[in-house]
């Protein structure tokens, strides 16, 4: 039971994006780097869930990088993080992070709906060194799944939604599951 919860939890975490750990150095401006947590990657592998990047995002090892742009109080991204299992897939596309409150909105693609669903505040970024306003950087922010979102006309737990689409047991992804760390570097 515990192994199944950890495995499913890891799958959900990677999906929503969300395991963000910083790359040692981000040389490029206008890039967000998400490094998937080693425990998350192990759990995904055990659950037969494969993470990948949708262009123009790129996956190298356990890090995914997204082109980023600062627009007002939001850092917007192109591309997607996609989690694929035998039962289906979930993709977090065009992620937009409000750097003032740390809430991230994404279009969530899946085989159930004809178009990706825009889900507001599906991820939460906290901590680290948020200097977007002054220097255009946010280093080592901790990312988690939101505990509740408005989706499909009602309040939902995104962890349960992800698990269902990936064919994982209900409750296998913990509510508010940690994803990892994020590094953002955008031109001011």
Alpha carbon distance 19, 181 (integer Å): 6
- How many other CB atoms are there within 10 angstroms of residue 45's CB atom? 14
From CA 58, how far away is CA 63, in angstroms rounded? Answer: 8
pLDDT of the residue at 177 = 80
User: What is the C-alpha separation between 27 and 126, in angstroms, rounded?
Assistant: 23
User: Which pLDDT value is given to residue 179?
Assistant: 82
Query: How are beta strands 103-109 and 58-60 bridged, if at all?
Result: unpaired
Mean pLDDT of the chain: 84
**The predicted structure's pLDDT at residue 151:** 86
In the predicted model, is pLDDT for residue 73 greater than 80? yes
What residues does 184 pair with on adjacent strands? 32, 138
For the chain, the straight-line distance linking the first and the last C-alpha, in angstroms and rounded, comes to 48
Q: CA-CA distance, 109 to 116, in Å (whole number)?
A: 4
Which pTM value belongs to this model?
A: 0.84
Each residue's pLDDT tens digit, 2-54: 444 444 444 444 444 433 333 344 447 899 999 987 767 777 788 899 999 99
pLDDT tens, residue by residue, 78-104? 999 999 999 999 999 999 999 999 999
DSSP, residue by residue, the chain: -HHHHHHHHHHHHHHTT------S---SSSEEEEEE-HHHHHHHHHTT-EEEEETTSEEETTEEEEEEEEETTEEEE-SEEEEEETTEEEEEEEEEEETTT-EEEEEEE-SSSSSPEEEEEEEEEE-SEEEHHHHSEEEEEEEEE-S-EEETTEEE-HHHHHHHHHTPPTT-S-TT-EEEEEEEE---
The reported pLDDT for the residue numbered 11 is 45
Q: Please give the pLDDT value at position 43.
A: 75
């Amino acid at each position: 039971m515990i192994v199944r919860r950890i495995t499913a939890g890891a799958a959900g975490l990677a999906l929503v994006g969300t395991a963000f750990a910083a790359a040692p150095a981000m040389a490029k401006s206008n890039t967000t780097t998400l490094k998937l947590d080693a425990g998350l990657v192990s759990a995904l592998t055990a659950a037969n869930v494969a993470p990948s990047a949708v262009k123009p995002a790129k996956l190298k090892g356990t890090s995914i990088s997204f082109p980023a742009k600062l627009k007002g109080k939001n850092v917007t991204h192109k591309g997607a993080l996609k989690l694929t299992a035998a039962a289906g897939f979930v993709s977090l596309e065009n992620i937009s992070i409000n750097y003032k409150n740390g809430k991230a909105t994404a279009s969530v693609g899946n085989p159930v709906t004809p178009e990706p669903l825009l889900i507001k505040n599906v991820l939460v970024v906290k901590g680290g060194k948020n200097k977007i306003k002054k220097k255009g950087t946010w280093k080592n922010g901790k990312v988690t799944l939101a505990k509740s979102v408005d989706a499909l006309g009602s309040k939902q737990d995104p962890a349960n939604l992800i698990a269902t689409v990936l064919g994982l047991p209900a409750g296998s992804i913990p509510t508010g599951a940690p994803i990892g760390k994020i590094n953002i570097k955008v031109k001011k």
